[in-house]
A and B are shown apart, each in its own frame.
Chain A
Amino acid sequence: MPRIPVGTAVESSLQWLVDHAGGFFDGVSAVLLFAVNTVYTALVSPLPFVLIAVFGLVAAVTTRSAVLTVFTVLAFLLVDGMRLWTQTLETLAVVIMAAVISVLVGVPVGILAANSARVSVCVRPVLDFMQTLPVFVYLVPSVFFFGIGVVPGIVATTVFAIPPAVRLTELGLRQVDAEIVEAARAFGPRPGQVLREVQLPLALPSIMAGVNQVIMLALSMVVVAGMVGAEGLGGVVVSGVTQFDIGLAFEGGIAVVVLAIFLDRVTGALGRPRSSGRRTRTALDTLLRRRAREEAPREPEHAAA
């Protein structure tokens, strides 16, 4: 078997991209940097105690669990006490950015894959590739394209986090009862109406499970991203490990865990059906519905006006 120079081919094509599409990557880099800084600024501007109260409130509203609410408040107070507050928010900003991009890319791709067997077949190996290719293999090239700092971290995190968004969206849509979709079509709705009003709401628990997975995977990548110069908890852990400062590394690690538990429980609760029986409404659905109900009584006034 002759030597097949796959590596050389990859290298030269990466070099070609850096040479010819450098401007594009610089532009992407600038946009991402601006976006993540905006999120970070928004998070860091209120006093820590205010934000901790907000986190507690979010936990209370979504999970309706007193235990988790108390845990959230105490755990974030601990993070602040370890003097890791700004780093935690940096990490949170990166996770939010990566999760938003992953969902914005992953959910539409999942919808396409659910509607077309051909797309599904093409997408699947790409997802496998994204999920199993060892992180460092593309983390380093992404430094070529985006330089040292937070942006290659976001990109690498996004690549890693997109697959569950695609997979669980596709799965959720495919699991929607075919007879219900047919029933919707039998009444002649406009194209897109069935997707928006029937398929997506019924697939919502699965899609939200995907979002939950996206966030958890993004968080798990954060430490690795610290190695390419992303600040935040990843940076804390990496410097702790490299300087043999076990205590610092542990503190960083504990802050990651706190963030992980908080984000997991909150997004998990949004996707889970509310307790009562086999009802498929989710907490998110209930929140949206409550808004719709409040709107309802106002309608007669519209009519009068």
Chain B
Amino acid sequence: MIEARHLTKVFDLSPARARRTLDAGPDRARAVREAGGVLAVDDVSFSVERGELFVIMGLSGSGKSTVIRMINRLVVPTTGSVLYDGTDVGGMTPRQLRGLRNERVGMVFQHFALFPHRTVRENAAYGLKARGVPRRERLRRADRALEQVGLGQRGGAYPDEFSGGMQQRVGLARALTTDPDVLIMDEPFSALDPLTRRSMQEQLLELQRDFRKTIIFVTHDLNEAMRLGDRIMVMRDGRTIQLGTGPEIIARPADGYVHDFVSDVDRTRVLTAAAVMRPPWVTAALGEDPAAVLARLERSRARGAYVTAPDGGIAGVATPEALSAAAAERRADLEHCLGGDYTAVPDDTPLVEFCHLTGGHAVPLAVVDRDKRLVGVVPRARVLDAIASAAEDRSEHA
């Protein structure tokens, strides 16, 4: 959908001079600095899939805001290119570029950047006004966008009558009114208090479930990045350090910088059941002989076995007592020794939401995939291990 190739941006030097300086030698950053310029972004490449929520994470000065402004060419790259479905933005005429910004890309800003002299409704309608849509039509569509962000009745107010969270909802509505495929969000929730930020994040995820926009989201908050991002690109000093999914970055930080970052993340919200589960020690198929299962169970340390149905789903749990009773009755299968004494969670459940469910039964917590098939188990010890390693990281850091 969007492809950024070797984006580089030098500020404070003329483009020609900047390009000459970049070609000068191996240490580009130093060469640019000595020429009196600033190398804000240094050879950044990535591609964003349709419907993906792509997060660019870095501290201030890492070049992340410059990168997203090169995507809709508010900042012209010194070298490198941005492609939308294969079309190079740099090759567009001013008119095509306006069309791209107006119809395909919506943008949300850190400090909201609402027009203080216009009503909330007129703010939300701005993109359509730029497009030349008649007043009545654009206000109607602005109202609909305001409805989506939960401000349906407040269109007549002025932005300064609103709290920060509400203002950013207006900013989001303004970006949604033009119905773009792509949303560029530049630290949209950084200026909000933690509670508001949380609810805005949830609302964004909800909108994303409904509309499946392609979103490029900038933040300096790794927790936010982990919560929202399908994939995360970590930037530092204008360069990409690591690009991967949240759990990948937590599990294998590319360098000490990312590792330091990661140690501050609340792992219980990032690690999912799939990340901490292990294979069950003993499982049994529904058609097996109770005596054989009992023998396997007694050789292991397990205190019960998950019994799977032919479709892979969990049929129930067989305890040693039930199995020996069935063996004594010479039953041919496990049909009569199934108990319901277990809990199962989907594999994408975050640790924080299932840790209290572990340890309540003879068998460990079951983890099932989307088709309800048993994919692993999480005994209480695994949960403690996962939390402990996070704490260890933190104390190491301190």
Which of B98, B101, B106, B111 is close to A179, meaning CB atoms less than 8 Å apart? Answer: B111
The reply to whether A182 and B117 form a contact with Cβ atoms under 8 Å apart is no
Over the window 125-136 of chain B, the binary record of Cβ atoms lying under 8 Å from chain A Cβ atoms (1 yes, 0 no) is 011011100011
| Residue among B72, B109, B129, B160 making CB contact with A277, cutoff 8 Å | B160
Chain B, interface size: which category? Answer: 20 to 34
A304 to B216, CA, bound (A): 43
| B 100-125 binary contact with A (CB < 8 Å = 1; else 0) | 11110111011101111100000000
Chain B 17-44, CB-CB to A under 8 Å as 1, else 0, gives 0000000000000000000000000000
Instruction: Please determine whether B116 and A179 come into contact, CB atoms closer than 8 angstroms.
Output: no
A198 adjacent to chain B (CB < 8 Å): yes
Residues of A within 8 A of B99 (CB): 188
Interface residues of A in 173-191 (CB under 8 A from B): 177, 179-180, 182-191
Q: Which residues of A sit under 8 angstroms from B136, Cβ to Cβ?
A: 299-300, 303
Tell me whether B116 and A189 are in contact (CB under 8 A): no
Q: For window 154-202 of chain A, which residues contact chain B by CB distance below 8 Å?
A: 177, 179-180, 182-191, 193, 197-198, 201-202
Contact assessment for B160 and A187 in the assembled complex, using a CB-CB cutoff below 8 Å? no
Q: Does B74 contact A (CB under 8 A)?
A: yes
**Assembled-state Cα–Cα distance A138/B354 (Å):** 86
How far is it, in angstroms, between the C-alpha of A191 and the C-alpha of B130 when the chains are bound? 10
Q: Which residues of A contact B126 (CB under 8 A)?
A: 184, 187
Q: Across the interface, do B72 and A186 meet the contact criterion of CB distance under 8 Å?
A: yes
- B206 vs chain A, min Cβ distance (A): 24
A183–B110 alpha-carbon span in the complex (Å)? 11
Contact bitstring A272-284, B, C-beta under 8 A = 1, else 0: 0000011111000
Which residues of chain A have C-beta atoms less than 8 A from B111's C-beta?
Answer: 177, 179
How close is A190's CB to chain B, nearest CB, in angstroms?
A: 7
A280 to B114: give the CA distance in the assembly, Å.
13
A213: min CB distance to chain B, Å: 23
Query: Which residues of B have CB within 8 Å of A231?
Result: none
In angstroms, how far is the closest chain A Cβ from the Cβ of B111?
Answer: 6
Q: How far is the CB of B66 from chain A (nearest CB, A)?
A: 12
In Å, the complex CA distance between A190 and B127 comes to 11
Which residues of chain A in 255-280 are interfacial with respect to chain B, using CB atoms and an 8 Å cutoff? 277-280
Given contacts A279-B158, A299-B135, A303-B136, contact A189 B113 (CB under 8 A): no
Query: Do B115 and A187 have beta carbons less than 8 Å apart?
Result: no
> Is there an interface contact between A184 and B74, defined as CB atoms closer than 8 Å?
no
CA of A303 to CA of B136, assembled, Å: 9
Once the chains bind, are B115 and A180 in contact (CB under 8 Å)? yes
Query: Are A183 and B130 touching (Cβ within 8 A)?
Result: no
Q: Of the candidates A188, A191, A198, A279, which one forms a contact with B101 in the assembled complex, judged by CB atoms under 8 Å apart?
A: A188
B178 at the interface (CB under 8 A from A): yes
Q: How far is the CA of A277 from the CA of B114 in the complex (A)?
A: 17
Q: What are 22 contact pairs spanning A and B, CB under 8 A? A: A179-B111, A179-B113, A180-B116, A182-B109, A183-B109, A185-B74, A186-B72, A186-B107, A187-B101, A187-B127, A187-B178, A188-B99, A188-B130, A189-B98, A193-B130, A201-B117, A202-B115, A202-B116, A277-B160, A279-B116, A279-B158, A285-B117
B residues at A contact (CB < 8 Å): 72, 74, 94, 97-103, 105-107, 109-111, 113-117, 126-127, 129-131, 135-136, 158, 160, 174, 178, 184
The 10 tightest CB contacts between A and B, nearest first, are A188-B102, A188-B101, A183-B113, A189-B130, A188-B98, A186-B107, A187-B127, A179-B113, A180-B113, A201-B117
Excluding A202-B117, A300-B136, 20 further A-B contacts by CB distance (< 8 Å) are A179-B110, A179-B113, A180-B113, A180-B115, A184-B115, A186-B72, A186-B105, A186-B184, A187-B106, A188-B97, A188-B101, A188-B102, A188-B130, A189-B102, A189-B130, A191-B94, A202-B115, A279-B116, A281-B116, A299-B136
Which residues of A are at the interface with B, using a C-beta cutoff of 8 A? Answer: 177, 179-180, 182-191, 193, 197-198, 201-202, 277-281, 285, 299-300, 303
